[in-house]
């Protein structure tokens, strides 16, 4: 691995982010979210979900580094 995990993770999200946005837009504009409550629930799940997945990569990196230090 030539780059740090953070650089690779951020590059991956630069690719995944627009795809995720496209999927969200497709669902939003499909007409399936009929009421304001449906739209609010959808956004309340999608936005924190995206941020949670992004943040989990850094948690995994820290866990892996801690595990590598313990091995010696």
- pLDDT tens by residue, 34-53: 999 999 999 999 999 999 99
Q: What confidence score (pLDDT) does residue 35 get?
A: 95
Q: What confidence score (pLDDT) does residue 1 get?
A: 59
Domain ranges across the chain: 5-71
**72, pLDDT greater than 80:** no
Written as one string, the DSSP assignment of the chain is: --S-HHHHHHHHHHHHHHHHHHHHHHHHHTT---SHHHHHHHHHHHHHHHHHHHHHHHHHHHHHHHHHHHH-
Q: pLDDT-derived band of residue 32, with 50, 70 and 90 as boundaries?
A: very high
pTM: predicted TM-score of the whole model, two decimal places = 0.72
């Amino acid at each position: 691995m030539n780059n740090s995990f953070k650089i690779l993770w951020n590059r991956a999200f630069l690719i995944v982010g627009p795809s995720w946005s496209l999927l969200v837009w497709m669902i939003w504009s499909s007409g399936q979210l009929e009421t304001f409550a449906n739209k609010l629930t959808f956004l309340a799940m999608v936005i924190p979900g995206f941020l949670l997945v992004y943040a989990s990569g850094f948690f995994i990196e820290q866990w892996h580094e801690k595990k590598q230090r313990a091995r010696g």
